[in-house]
Amino acid sequence: MSLCEARSLVEARLAAFGNTKHDSNTPFEVVAEVSFYYRGRLWKPITMRTCRINFTQKIQPYFKGKAIGSITRSDVEDWFLGLAKTPGSANRCLPILSGIMRTAEDLGYIEEGSNPARGIRRYKTKPKERFLTNDEMARLGAVLKREARAYPMQTAFIRFMTLTGCRGGELLSLKWDYYIDSNLYLPDSKTGPKTVFLSTPARKLLAELSKCNKSQWVFASKNKQPNAGIFNTFWHRIRAEVGISDVRLHDLRHNYASIALRSGENLRVIGMLLGHVDAETTLRYAHLDDATMHSAVNKVAKSMTKRTRRTE
C-alpha cells in the first residue's frame, strides 16, 4: 500500500465515522486501522492476529477517541506504566503503538520525528528459555516411547521438534513435497525460506511416518489436516507425567540449541541450524557455554601447573 492509498483509506474510514477531517485531529483508532493495513501487509498471518489481539486488549482502550496529534510522550508513558504488572505484554505492545504513530508521521498527521512512543525504555524481563537436563531428556524419551503406539503422530511431532529445533508452526505447515534429498526446504518460515538439515534419526522418523500418513501434510490429524490443538493437548499431558510442567513446546527448540552448544558447535553454526537471520538472536545462548569455558580454563590451569612444576 502506497502513502496515497493509505491516505485514501483514512478518508474512507473518516467518512464512515461521519468525519471529513484528515489531519492532526484524526481519531487514533482510524490511524491505527490504516497502520495495520499499511505496515502489516508483509506480516505473517499469526503476527497480524497477535498484534490485533494486543491492540484490542491493551492499546485501544487507552487511546480510543483521542486526536492523533494530541497524544503526548506523557500519555504514552502513563499507558506503559499502567501495564507494569504484565511487562512482557507491555513490551510486545510498545512497538505496535510506535508503528501506529510512525504511520501518522508518514501520513503527515503529526510532525516527522515527533513519534511519542519512540525511545521508551522497555521493561527488563527474565528469559523464558527452559532447557532440559539429561535426566529430564531421558524421562521424556521413556514416556514418548510408551505413548508411541497409541499416539504415533503426536509423539513423532515432539520427537521431530527435539531432533531439528524447528518451530511448531514450521512443522504444522510441513508438506511431504518439502522433503527433498534428505533435507527440508521450507518455502516460508518466520524468517523467510529456510533449509532444515536432517540427521539420520530425523530422516528415519520421516520414513516411518510416510508409511502410515497419506496426507500432503507430514503431521496431519485424523481428518488429514494439521491441528495444533491435538499436539498442545498431548504435550500438556505428558509433560506433567515427565515432571516438566514448566516446559513449553517451543522450549524444545531452545533445548536443541543448548545441546548443540554443549556438543561443541559454535554460535554461527547453531544460528544456521535454527534459521536465524540476525546473529544477535543466537547470542542469547552464549551464556550456556559457561560450563565449557570453565572446563577450558581448568584445563589451561592444569597445564600451566604441570609446566611450572617442571621448571622448579
Q: Among the listed ranges 10-19, 23-32, 81-90, which one has the minimum average pLDDT value?
A: 10-19
| Residue-range domain boundaries for the chain | 3-106, 134-291
Q: Are 151 and 250 in contact (CB under 8 A)?
A: no
Of residues 268, 264, 257, the one with CA closest to residue 293:
264
pLDDT in tens, 191-207: 678 888 888 888 999 99
- Kindly tell me if the per-residue pLDDT of 146 is higher than 90: yes
Cell of 104: 501518522
Length of the chain equals: 312
Hunting for cell 505492545 — which residue is that?
93
Least confident of 132-141, 189-198, 248-257: 189-198
Q: What is 134-291's CATH number?
A: 1.10.443.10
Q: Which fold has domain 3-106?
A: DNA polymerase; domain 1 (1.10.150)
- The pLDDT mean for the chain works out to 82
The confidence score (pLDDT) of residue 6 equals 65
Q: Decide if pLDDT at 83 tops 80.
A: yes
The reported pTM is 0.62
Distance between CA atoms of 198 and 128, rounded to whole angstroms? 27
On whether the CB atoms of residues 94 and 25 are closer than 8 A, the answer is no
Phi, psi of 197 (to 5 degrees): -85, 125
Instruction: Determine the average pLDDT of the residues in 128-132.
Output: 76
Q: Which three cell numbers stand for residue 72?
A: 503526548
pLDDT computed for residue 285 by the predictor = 61
Q: Does residue 93 have a pLDDT over 90?
A: yes
**Most confident listed range (45-49, 126-130, 283-287):** 45-49
Per-residue confidence (pLDDT) for residue 292, from 0 to 100? 56
Can you spell out the DSSP letters for 82-141? TTTTSHHHHHHHHHHHHHHHHHHHHTTSS-TT--TTTTPPPPP---------HHHHHHHH
